[in-house]
Amino acid sequence: MAFTAKDVKALRDATGAGMMDCKSALQETDGDVEAAKQWLREKGLAASAKRSDRENTQGVVAMVVDGNVGAMVELKSETDFVAGSDQFKAEADALAALVAAKGTVAVAERNAELEELKVTLKENIGLGEVVRIEAAAGNELGHYEHIQGGRGVNGVLVEVAGGDAELAHDIAVHIAFARPKYLSRDDVPAEVVEAERATLTTLTRNEGKPEQALEKIVTGRLNGFYKDVALLDQPYAKDDKQSVAQYLGSASIAGFAQVEIG
């Protein structure tokens, strides 16, 4: 029974196996689609379950820094065993290099390779965060990548204006471990602030604090919230007697990004 390229693609869509494996299956079964599915299953080449439904909380953060351009790509997997494999890490590196060279949308150019990787490694593999920062002329691009088990798991890029490479690196290291969500308190969305204020007001009232002192206490606690989530308000990791803003001095942060597995 003859078969076409359309038949090969349909078999691939149905089984999750690679194109060449699907072609071989149809050749071995004389174009019988159901028999080809069974052939792939027996060879261990068909997906045993719908991989897209499985949780993929492991993976790798690949980073590329080339001059004033930095890129990070999070490639997600189900297990740390797959995340630590050479093939998986090589694909993440290839994606990061592509993003650095062409921009974040360029990851689509490797869709076929990602699909093949899912079949080869038999896991729910997918892209997570994809980041690219191009520092303006005269600015420093700081970066830090935390390696664990031979793979990147926590990456940071930060653009600093008016500072040197050492300062930019120090700030990147701080971000990696302090995990700020926003640059400044002004960047925290109003709805987030109001939700936190409401929670703190209820908490303070439940503690039996006097009603007339409520606003002052909540304001103080809200300042503590900003120290947790806003980079410039955070105590600097290497010297908690000063804030990150104080450590920066006359320098400023034009932007930052953090990508972390899990």
Could you say which of 3.40.1390.10, 2.40.50.360, 3.40.50.150, 1.10.8.10 is the CATH number of the domain covering 5-48?
1.10.8.10
Return the domain boundaries, the chain: 5-48, 53-184+236-260, 189-229
The answer to whether domain 53-184+236-260 and domain 189-229 are alike in fold is no
Looking from the CA of 74 toward its CB, the CA atoms found within 13 Å total 18
- 189-229 CATH: 1.10.286
Contact 259, 131 (CB under 8 A): yes
The residue ranking higher by pLDDT, 174 or 37, is: 174
Q: What is the pLDDT of residues 221-256, one digit of tens each?
A: 999 999 999 999 999 999 999 999 999 999 999 999
d(C-alpha 84, C-alpha 178), whole Å: 25
pLDDT value at residue 47: 56
Element (H, E) at 156: strand 151-161
- pTM score: 0.77
Q: Is the pLDDT of residue 164 over 50?
A: yes
What is the CATH number that goes with domain 53-184+236-260?
3.30.479.20
Nearest to 244 by CA among 140, 158, 137, 152: 158
